Chain A
Amino acid sequence: MIQTIRVRTNKNPTARVYRLEGITEKQAKILAEKLFRENVNQTYTINKPIFPNAIEIAYKMGVMNPEVASIIKAARDLKVNLIACDSSREYLNKAPIFNPLTEHIVKKEPTTLLIKEKAGKTAVIPIREMGDKELLSLSKDKLFLNLDEMKTIQKYFQKIRRDPTDLELETLAQTWSEHCAHKTFKAKLIIDGKSKAPLIERIKKEALKHKKNVVSAFVDNAGVMDFYDGWAINGKAETHNAPSAIEPYGGAMTGSGGVFRDVVATGQGAKCVVSTDIFCLAPPGMDKNKLPSGTLPPDYILKRVVSAVRDYGNRVGIPTNNGSFHFHEDFRAKPIVLVGSYGILPKTKAKKGKPKVGDVGVVIGGRIGRDGIHGATFSSGEMSERTMKVNATAVQIGNAIEEKRVFDAILEARDQDLIRAVQDLGAGGFSSAIGEMGEKTGVAVHLEKAPLKYQGLSPWEIWVSESQERMLIILPPKNLKKFLEICKKYNVEATEIVEFDGSRKLQVYFNKKQVGDLEMTFLHGGLPQRVMRATYVKVTSPSRLHLNIPKTKKRWINHLEKILSHGNINSKEPILRMYDHNVQGTNALHPFTGVGMDGPNDAAVIRPLLDKPYGLVVAHGLNPVFTMMDPYWGSIWAGAEAISNYVAVGGDYKNASLINNYIWPFPDEEWLGKLDRCVDAVCNFMKALKIPVISGKDSLSATYRGSNGFVLHSPPTLCISAFGRIPDVRKTVSSDLKNIGSTIVLVGQEAHLRGEAKTLPGSHLGGVPRVDLKMLPRVLEKMHKAIISGKVLACHDVSEGGLIITIFEMCVGGNCGVEIKVDGKRLLSETAGCFIVEVENEKMAKRLFKGIPYKILGKTIKDEKLIVEDLFTADVNKLQKAWQKPMKEVFG
């Protein structure tokens, strides 16, 4: 019997619906009055409608509703025991837009909330007898392996003279997926007939030349570098594009959740202290007819990813201090959702211990459901209109509080020295995490012990489920009791399911029956190295520059307003005001500062140890349009932009580390050739600056294929994130202009005038501005010294839109204006690695920047005007309106 309580506030015409199973109406009344209804402003009904003709929207059965656990707990605290419950919302007249993948309109009252299914059996797949066609059809939509790989598996089972179980095949598919195995990055390359070392080897080789600050790189879930006083900091950035394309809210939430867990699951556990969010989307309001079938409207995606960051990051309590948006119509099928996360941990606990024979593995956190099955393999495949139908289980909703209590428990266990290693249960679920951690010793896993959300899962489903908010903790058996006590204190469910047994095999049992038995050497070493061919396509730079320089004052102002309202450039303040950036109390440079707290800054600076002045600086750079135009120089630009953002706030680039994320169309010969150029750029960038990449990820599936032959590649994108340490956050600077009558200086080497605001619709394409890598470190060094001397009043890096936009944003923060003399072309230059700096006077500029390229542009003035001699005078407040309007319209 289900009791249904409906509660409405007297203000807005919606009602909350609570369905409670296994209790009497009298008990329902207790819950209504003590838990669900507030007598100050709400009314309720039991088992009766509260509005006539209401429309109810609920999660579909089996989709995680994070509220359920809290309701069951609170009811229990009130001495009412629920068997099951659900919550949903009712609307009067009109329902809001919802995603039919996860939600539905309730047409008929449910009679039970329990999912009752018989547990599925383990199947044996007769792979030994299959021909090529059958192998491929087995792989399609499920295993996502190619024929070579399928044949390798077939040979193995022919050799051991048996057929695999479904669980074994799934294990191989997960472990060998592009997502987990990075087959392209590890492949031998043949480019235009010449062989070249694998991409990952080249990155590692260069990175390891610059390891003075590195604690660990490329071996753990996040890269770790030295901090101060025995502490280390770690960082990771990861995309969650495929799930976000079909369910942006759940996709972006679980994207945040996953990368937070990567940071926490570093060494023996880290504390997550800051996060960044980078989105590449189709512009809101684009022509709906251009949307391929099976894709969602851009406005909906934009709003939902923002809500997800808000609802997940804010709840876990990790400040979101930095991020960016990049709009291009070609992101309409596969958007980019890239979350970065950074943490702090004791240096002595920064490396994972190696599991020893006799150790145990405990799974903690959320329960397992069918959600997230095939996430790793699915995200490795291209997207098509079938994706939404076939792979809906790859999508889930996150439960931030589950994640938070798991983190709290881990940090206490770490501080009590109980943990050998922490591993995230992310892509591939148990299959990947246990398979990886048990590589050297071998493991026995008892799957029937795994806590489930509902009955009916087959062993292979339990094994590969990517249900969120779970971690695997490996510890010596003597610490188990203490560890379980800590979990209890934090309301964290913990189950011992793994034994590190010395067998060197992956042995999986379900109710004493063996359902998997694979040799670790085959699982981890059996995947054949790919040999991949690539070809370079010559980048065609325009022979003549078509610079679209406005000719009249009026055109200048129109042009500026157009640039300022463009999605990449307009003010994201309404979004940032929904992300908590104060939580943890560590913020030392807010995303917006200035008189009206509306001038944007370049990077995040936080003080992760509250009683110390030490700073963690986090910045990033990317430009999908530039990497699309020129994969080499576009990638150099991304790196220069990241490190310039980093230095502009007071970061010391010599004590920074980099994270590289590649989001690329499916690597056919041409796209692989471009990717190779991109990796060359990353290596040359490290070499020029003498700093390492210490973490990263690739996602090579940014291609959509429609049934009618329509193919859409998302713009290839390299994102470079920079993070590092500074000894004192008081020696940092914000972008808002501070004084009247001070001097405005352009610092840095401008590229030949290739760049202007190319991303604008209708403007002519120039080439990508080529950053001078020889000059860049000299400029960064001087800039840093100038800032720590305390003589720089304000600083802002030149980026998209050109230097006039940089100056405009500084005026917004300072509620003042400038009077400058610059030629028109230069005003629109987008060279990364250049800075606009406010100093007291020209003498000071000379003192600070002698020896590197710099140019005095003019002075700050009280009048809120941009006065560019001989060209135009523009009203800062008017431009500001154009700059702020677009996102205000979307987010209110």
Chain B
Amino acid sequence: MAEANEGGFWMKKPNVCILQSDGTNCDVELHYVFKKFGGNPQFVRVNELRDNPKILKDFHILALPGGFSYGDDVASGKIWAVELVSFLREEIENFRKKGGLIIGICNGFQVLIRTGLLPFGNLGKMDATLVPNDSGHFECRWVDLKSERSKCAFLKSNYDVGHFAVNHGEGKLFCNTETLEKIEAQNLVVFRYVDENGSPTQKYPQNPNGSLNAIAGITDPSGRILGLMPHPEKFVDITQYPNWRRDPPTGRQGKIIKPHGAFIFEEMINYVKENLW
């Protein structure tokens, strides 16, 4: 266990598994972020986990980064989801029971959806899907997100609107009406795309993919799994935001005073420190 001297007393750092597959490409920045906010991140290649599944229990947080796992062949995140469900089902179930946190960003979210872990924690059964953007192509742009009061166990602050990068071709959350109602009724929606007035929107490009109910990120009923299409890890330093020169990140009413992606990682780390030791 890594330790560091912070605030004048010895504190443990939560272990974060940054899981990689062939085609994972947002792993380095995710590693950087967890380290920056007091975690102890480690890169783990999926083959290492398959060879030695037990190592998962040494971690407090499992993070699935963005990228194009196995080329997003067949469907985005599909091949990796099949791999995880086929070989690591038991270890993932145990990890959840123990109270570990899981975050999937972009391709990581696509994997969580296709394993069935999101929205309802049904490992091995898909209830919703992420389909190609309504625009028909990859979108690289910055959008505004509003974070809602939700079931998410570790995001406690009531943040308002923040700027986030989106970089994906298949990000439209899609499911049948019944499922959508269930997701809403259980307060599983954590983030929505919003317009210039801060209201959830179906308008392109503020809603970059046409996602139902403007959903950008969701949690599961346990509140310990978070998946989202936008990239909070790409806005933890001021200079990462395109308009940092003209519009430093102060947010509406000055509520958000840090780079807008930071709180997610800080609160994950805090949650582990408060709940899992």
Contacts and interface: CB of A to CB of B under 8 A. Distances in A.
Interface of A: 9, 11, 16, 34-36, 38-41, 66-67, 70-71, 73-74, 77-78, 87, 310, 314-317, 399-401, 404-405, 408, 488-491, 576-588, 590, 592-595, 597, 607, 610-611, 729-730, 733-734, 736, 738, 892
20 contacts: A40-B174, A40-B175, A41-B129, A66-B73, A67-B71, A71-B73, A74-B79, A315-B23, A316-B25, A317-B26, A400-B68, A404-B25, A489-B45, A576-B140, A578-B137, A580-B138, A582-B165, A583-B66, A583-B167, A597-B243
B246 A736 contact: yes
A97 B23 CA distance: 29
Interface in B82-133: 82-83, 86-87, 114, 126-129, 131
Contacts of B141: 577, 597
Contacts of B174: 40-41
B70 interface: yes
Given A74-B79, A577-B141, A584-B29, 14 more contacts: A40-B126, A40-B127, A41-B174, A71-B73, A73-B70, A315-B23, A401-B23, A489-B48, A578-B139, A579-B140, A580-B138, A585-B233, A588-B239, A729-B239
A607 B32 CA distance: 13
A399 B70 CA distance: 10
A582 B243 contact: no
B37 interface: no
Interface string B226-258: 000001011001111011011000000000000
A576 B70 CA distance: 24
B20, B22, B36: which has the most chain A beta carbons within 10 Å?
B22
Interface in B23-76: 23, 25-26, 28-29, 32, 36, 45, 47-48, 66-68, 70-75
A611 B242 contact: no
Nearest to B78: A35
Given A310-B137, A315-B68, A404-B25, A585 B78 contact: no
A35 B83 CA distance: 10
B231 A582 contact: yes
A358 B53 CA distance: 39
A39 B86 CA distance: 18
A610 B32 contact: yes
Interface of B: 20, 22-23, 25-26, 28-29, 32, 36, 45, 47-48, 66-68, 70-75, 78-79, 82-83, 86-87, 114, 126-129, 131, 135-142, 165, 167, 174-176, 231, 233-234, 237-240, 242-243, 245-246
Contacts of B32: 585, 610-611
Given A583-B25, A585-B32, A41 B131 contact: yes
Nearest to A736: B246
B172 to A, nearest CB: 10
A580 B22 contact: no
B132 to A, nearest CB: 9
Contact of A590 (B114, B137, B242): B242
Contact of B74 (A39, A70, A491, A586): A70
A733 B234 contact: no
Contact of A78 (B82, B139, B238): B82
Given A70-B74, A583-B25, A892 B86 contact: no
B26 A583 contact: yes
B45 to A, nearest CB: 5
A644 to B, nearest CB: 20
Contact of A74 (B67, B68, B82): B82
A320 to B, nearest CB: 9
A874 to B, nearest CB: 24
A66, A399, A405: which has the most chain B beta carbons within 10 Å?
A405
Given A40-B174, A400-B68, A580 B242 contact: no
Contacts of B136: 892
A636 B266 CA distance: 51
B129 A38 contact: yes
Nearest to A315: B68
Contacts of B47: 488-491
A488 B68 CA distance: 20
B23 A404 contact: yes
Given A71-B73, A576-B140, A580-B140, A317 B234 contact: no
B128 A40 contact: yes
Interface of B is mostly: mixed
A310 B137 CA distance: 10
A315 B71 CA distance: 7
Contacts of A738: 245-246
Contact of B79 (A73, A584, A590): A73
A11 B174 CA distance: 12
Contacts of B26: 317, 583-585
Nearest to A592: B242
A488 B48 CA distance: 10
A40 B176 contact: yes
A74 B82 CA distance: 7
A70 B71 CA distance: 8
A77 B167 contact: no
A592 B128 CA distance: 34
Contact of A36 (B74, B233, B237): B74
Nearest to B139: A577
Given A40-B128, A892-B135, A34 B82 contact: yes
A429 B96 CA distance: 49
B140 A577 contact: yes
Contacts of B165: 582
Given A578-B140, A610-B29, A77 B45 contact: no
B29 A585 contact: yes
Contacts of B142: 597
Contact of A38 (B71, B126, B140, B238): B126
A38, A41, A490: which has the most chain B beta carbons within 10 Å?
A38
A582 B114 CA distance: 25
A734 B241 CA distance: 12
Contacts of A316: 25
Given A588-B240, A730-B239, A70 B79 contact: yes
Contacts of B23: 315, 400-401, 404-405
B219 to A, nearest CB: 19
Given A35-B74, A67-B74, A592-B242, A582 B140 contact: yes
A828 to B, nearest CB: 29
Contact of B78 (A74, A314, A401, A594): A74
Contacts of B135: 892
A315 B114 CA distance: 20
Nearest to B33: A585
A581, A610, A729: which has the most chain B beta carbons within 10 Å?
A610
Contacts of A734: 245-246
A111 to B, nearest CB: 24
Nearest to B124: A34
Given A70-B74, A74-B74, A582-B231, A610 B25 contact: no
A40 B82 CA distance: 16
Nearest to B35: A611
Contacts of A36: 74
Nearest to B75: A38
A490 to B, nearest CB: 7
Given A9-B131, A74-B82, A597-B141, A733 B73 contact: no
A740 to B, nearest CB: 13
Contacts of A736: 246
A77 B240 contact: no
List 9 A-B pairs, minimum CB-CB distance, nearest first. Answer: A317-B25, A585-B29, A70-B73, A590-B242, A401-B71, A67-B73, A40-B129, A70-B70, A582-B165
Contacts of A488: 47
Contacts of B71: 66-67, 70, 315, 399-401
A408 B72 CA distance: 18
A315 B47 CA distance: 20
Given A590-B242, A597-B243, A77 B87 contact: yes
B22 A404 contact: yes
B91 to A, nearest CB: 15
